[in-house]
Amino acid sequence: MYTALQIETPRTIPNTKMRVAILEDDLSQTELLSHWLQLAGHHAHAFEQGAQLLRSLERESFDVLVLDWNVPDLNGIEVLKRVRSRLHSAIPVLFVTGRNREDDVVMALREGADDYMVKPVRRLELLARLEALARRGRHGQQQADVIELDVFKVDCQTRTVLRNGKAVDLTAKDFDLSVLFLRNVGRLLSRGHIRETVWGPNAVVTSRTLDTHVSRIRNKLGLTPDYGWRLAAVYRYGYRLEQLDPSAARPRDGESKAA
């Protein structure tokens, strides 16, 4: 049974690295696609069965799904239907399959696929299509070295965060974690997604360590309802940073309600 977990697409600037889930039962094809993604600096997660991918989506977040049509148990179309209807996810979906009939392409697009490629695929074209889908899923916004959002100004070149013009003292990991959340306001990020993006795919990071870092940036950046923000844990999934109604927040530093 698949839970109706609302998984929103982000409304702010994405990370450069994508976290891509690949549904493919051909090992050689999986290895090839994963290798191409890793060479481009992205993180690939392979699944041989549709049900396995759906279970993962209940507890993990990805930037793009790459689906083959003919896989054991649930085929790619059935997985797509459940992603859209049961998980209520608008995550970008690219079909990479050997089926090249026009009615197959039309069916996939009508069921909610965002793009369709017929095997064999070319490396640079695949990467370009995936990156275009990720941008489109985030309202077309590009990567930026400087993020200006509410009272925050983040410079990714100098790795500094200003809040109301004042520098916030952050460790290297706390800075990376802050950037991840501020680039994904409103998006539900899984613990695995956070660990992989901030610490790397091979790092061993306990839940307690992750929670400690999140708590620290919540306090240092003022990501609390008093300041118009909520950085909250979602049970058995991960964290979401939300910007609240400004009228509900208390005055900013140096301001008054009357102002």
Task: Note whether 232 and 240 are within 8 A (CB).
Answer: yes
For residue 11, is pLDDT > 50?
Answer: no
pLDDT (0 to 100) of residue 247: 59
Confidence of residue 248 (pLDDT cuts 50, 70, 90): low
Packing angle of the helix pair 76-85, 50-57 (nearest 10 deg): 20
pLDDT (0 to 100) of residue 144: 66
6-16: average pLDDT: 41
Domains of the chain are: 19-137 (3.40.50.2300), 146-248 (1.10.10.10)
Confidence of residue 8 (pLDDT cuts 50, 70, 90): very low
Token pair 């539900």 is at which residue?
A: 188
Taking all residues of the chain, what is their mean pLDDT, rounded to a whole number? 86
Task: Note whether 173 and 199 are within 8 A (CB).
Answer: yes
- Distance, in Å, from the CA atom of 222 to the CA atom of 152, rounded to the nearest integer, reads 10
- Distance, in Å, from the CA atom of 256 to the CA atom of 259, rounded to the nearest integer, reads 5
Query: What is residue 7's DSSP assignment?
Result: B
Please give the model's pTM, rounded to 2 decimal places. Answer: 0.69
Kind plus residue range of the DSSP H or E element containing 45: strand 43-47
Residue-wise pLDDT for 118-160, tens only, equals 999 999 999 999 988 887 765 444 456 888 999 999 998 899 9
**In one letter, which amino acid is 251?**
P
